[in-house]
Amino acid sequence: MSVSASPSQPVSLLGGFTPELFAAHLAGVAHLPAWWLDRKRAAYERFASLPLPKRTDEAWRFATLTGLTLDGYVRPAAVPAGRLGHVPVGVAKSGRLVFANNRLVAREQVAAALAERGVVFGTIQEALRTHGDLVKAHLLAQPSPLGSEKFTALHTALLEDGAFIYVPRGVELPAPLAIYHYAQGAQSAVFPHTLVIAEEGSSATVVDCFRSADAQRHFACGQNDLHAGHGARLTYVAAQTWSRETLSFQFNSTIARRDAAVQSLNLHLGGRQSRHESHSQLQAPGAHTEMLGLTVAHGTQEFDQRTLQIHQAPNTSSNLLYKNALLDQSKTIFSGLIVVDPDAQKTDAYQGNRNLMLSDDAEANSLPGLEIQANDVRCTHGATSSRIDPEQEFYLRTRGIRQADADELLTFGFFEEVLSKLASEPLHDAFRDLIKAKFRAAPRPADHQH
Amino acid sequence: MSQLDIKDLHVSIGEKAIVKGLTLTVRSGEVHAIMGPNGTGKSTLAKAVAGHPSYTITSGDVLLDGRSILVMEPDERARAGLFLAFQYPSEIPGVSIANFLRAAVQARMGEGEELDAAAYYKRLYSKMDLLKMDRKFTSRAINDGFSGGEKKRCEILQMAMLEPKFALMDETDSGLDIDALRIVADGVNALRSTNLGVLMITHYQRLLGYIVPDHVHVMWDGRIVKSGDKSLALELEAKGYDWVKTELVPA
């Protein structure tokens, strides 16, 4: 199929991501090994030839397809040093990387003692030079089975730089590594990436923050690749606070090897329309993944979450809990699938989606699913939508707490089941504060006080 | 000196009339007990006065220091000085007692006024000591997985922290073993003062052995049919509710 379609069509397929933009991108990337250039070219071809999602695509059921237009986005200019109003997340950390418009703008290295033990906390651009084989083996190396192949191809094609984290065998990081990805300027298109390789018996916590430096319309198409080796313990938490005009895609690919434990928590607050896909592969016995999600949807925001837990080996366990609070005319979609391969006996898998409806005009869609090919497994799933319990609300109000405050307490109570799974108290508090800030910024529901 | 006046109160749930013309005055420093069999409208009275949205007041009035509270939202009534100790307190997972009580204390403060956290915790811990509650309690979610005794102690703790003018205590003794009952009663007795009026709702005389009332009222079919001093509770215990039915209720 030809990439340069008829003149009446190309806008819908490519939007602003024209061959000229791709060429300019390639010209602007400092280090481009042949294998990476080949992959990028192939990815761009795939992006350009694949159609946009259609109404009949099961993987896009309930999604607002008219919101997915790619028109008008541009390759953003570099952000001058010191021009970013960066505010750290407020958690003690082992190191920090700040990207703005796809380029590194600030960094705080890990302690020399960690670097001496082989810990690498740097950029993908650097790692392509210093750890080329590792990058080649792990960067965007997994399939994209959840419906967004066009957009993951675009991510591969236009990925310029991102975070590269390598934790060698047996090394435990004492504090989280923090990464910030900013978008700035009208129509800016950003392609954040975080690649984490945690080797055998290592442990690390990574905090990924997705932010807009202004209230402009942005396009964000990011991915994180998480690889947990034998017995590794990896915690990945992400806070998405893009501008309310942003179209966001965020893809996750997690590999858990023997006895590895991966916990991920994605907090979704920003964006106009945000799609999150999480693909988790439990590849060897004893592997465990915990996938957590929290969403606060205001106004006309749409959050679309698609998950896949694949159990490929016996004695693996996974636990997924996505909780959404919906206000105003917002919309959420949760579609989850647990797949158990034929020889993955003794699989223990859970998938839960809970929606708290704080408005009669909001819409929560839930599509849980199981596909089990082994016979000795325990797989359960559940999806519920509920409102504020009037008895609980009354109880709080009889203590003098105003209705809006009572509802906020109850909403935080609803989230606490997820937040309390974070072992780090400062992270727990930082995430609570982010949610609180969103409630404060949004108009509160009518409070019937005199 | 405060006064709570319940005047010819009629309360319905849906179409069904439950409280059918009840009049009662409680003053600061007094402890009143309302006794009566199940289904006679005692709990409905308490919830209606506290402002539960499912209960409709069809006529009559409730005045706090001469001002009707019926136009007030439940939280306004609470801030005006009313407290309801629930028979079945709600379980609220994910909301810690510390955060909850803090919000309740904060709600009573003026705009822009900051809570003194150190003073708050000092006061909270002293009240918990009084109720023999472990300090770990504050980090637990409200009533989530609590025993019956823990729930009732938690109610009294809230009452101690919020210092109401009037407390409506709905079957505070239900579900308590004798040790828990003693702790709860000691807690209430410690809060008894000239600034607090108490309306205790109970099915059994047992509680009144621990919290001695100044006035006892017998409730039957939505009305008070007899009032007296603490000896009325003993008489009722001795004669049973059949006595109320045959002797006190007008045919």
Contact flag A398-B79 (C-beta cutoff 8 Å): no
Please answer yes or no on whether A410 and B95 come within 8 Å at the CB atom: yes
Chain B residues within 8 Å of chain A (Cβ atoms): 50-53, 72-79, 82-84, 86, 89-90, 92-95, 99-101, 103-104, 107-108, 141, 158, 162
Verify whether the Cβ–Cβ distance A405 to B103 is below 8 Å: yes
Confidence of residue B251 (pLDDT cuts 50, 70, 90): low
- Cβ–Cβ of B108/A400 closer than 8 Å? yes
Contacts (Cβ under 8 Å, ≥6 apart) of A45: A3
Q: Which CATH number fits domain B3-248: 3.30.300.20, 3.40.50.880, 2.60.40.10, 3.40.50.300?
A: 3.40.50.300
| Interface contact A399-B162, CB threshold 8 A | yes
Cβ-based contacts of B101 with chain A (< 8 Å): 399
Q: Which residues of chain A are within 8 Å of residue B95 when distances are taken between CB atoms?
A: 409-410, 412-413, 416
Evaluate if residue A1 carries a pLDDT over 60: no
CB contact under 8 A, B75 and A390: no
Q: With bands split at pLDDT 50, 70 and 90, how would you rate the model's confidence at B111? A: confident
Query: Domain map of chain B by residue range?
Result: 3-248
The reply to whether residue A449 touches residue B74, judged by beta carbons under 8 angstroms, is: no
Nearest residue of chain A to residue B157 (CA atoms): A399
pTM as predicted: 0.90
pLDDT tens digit sequence for B210-248: 999 999 999 999 999 999 999 999 998 888 888 888 887
Residue from A284, A214, A292, A219 nearest A252 by CA: A292
DSSP B88: S
A281-333 pLDDT per residue, tens: 999 999 999 999 999 999 999 999 999 999 999 999 999 999 999 999 999 99
With bands split at pLDDT 50, 70 and 90, how would you rate the model's confidence at A4? very low
Closest among B230, B199, B232, B198 to B213, alpha carbons compared: B230
Q: pLDDT category, A449, cuts 50, 70, 90?
A: very low
What is the rounded average pLDDT of the residues A77-94?
Answer: 83
Please, are residues A400 and B78 in contact by the beta-carbon 8 Å criterion?
yes
The average pLDDT across B112-121 equals 90
Q: How confident is the model at residue A443 (pLDDT cuts 50, 70, 90)?
A: low
Cβ of residue A449 closer than 8 Å to a chain B Cβ: yes
A216 pLDDT above the threshold of 80: yes
E strand or H helix at A113, and its extent? helix A112-116
Give the lowest-confidence range in A106-115, B154-163, B241-250: B241-250
In angstroms, the CA A126 to CA A33 distance is 12
**Both tokens assigned to B204:** 């059994």
Residue from B71, B82, B86, B95 to probe the interface with A (highest A Cβ count within 10 Å): B95
B35 or A93, which is more confident? B35
Q: How confident is the model at residue A440 (pLDDT cuts 50, 70, 90)?
A: confident
Mean pLDDT score, A398-404: 96
Whether the per-residue pLDDT at A270 is higher than 70: the answer is yes
Q: DSSP string covering A57-83, please?
A: -GGGTT--GGGG--TT-B-PPPPPTT-
Of A84-93, A335-344, A430-439, B62-71, the range with the lowest mean pLDDT is A84-93
- Tell me the per-residue pLDDT of A90-108, one tens digit each, with 9 for 90 and over: 788 899 999 999 999 999 9
ipTM of the shown complex: 0.96
Interface mutation target, options B43, B54, B88, B92, chain A, most CBs of A under 10 Å: B92
Confidence at residue A442, expressed as pLDDT on a 0 to 100 scale: 67
Categorize the per-residue pLDDT at A2 as very low, low, confident or very high, splitting at 50, 70 and 90.
very low
Per-residue confidence (pLDDT) for residue A450, from 0 to 100:
33
Closest CA to B133 of B115, B149, B117: B149
* pLDDT > 90 fraction of chain A, expressed in percent and rounded: 90
Answer yes or no: is pLDDT of A3 > 50: no
Residues of chain A neighbouring B107 (CB-CB closer than 8 A): 399-402, 405
CA distances (Å), A315 to each of A309, A340, A406, in order? 14, 11, 43
Does A414 touch chain B if contact means CB atoms closer than 8 Å? Answer: yes
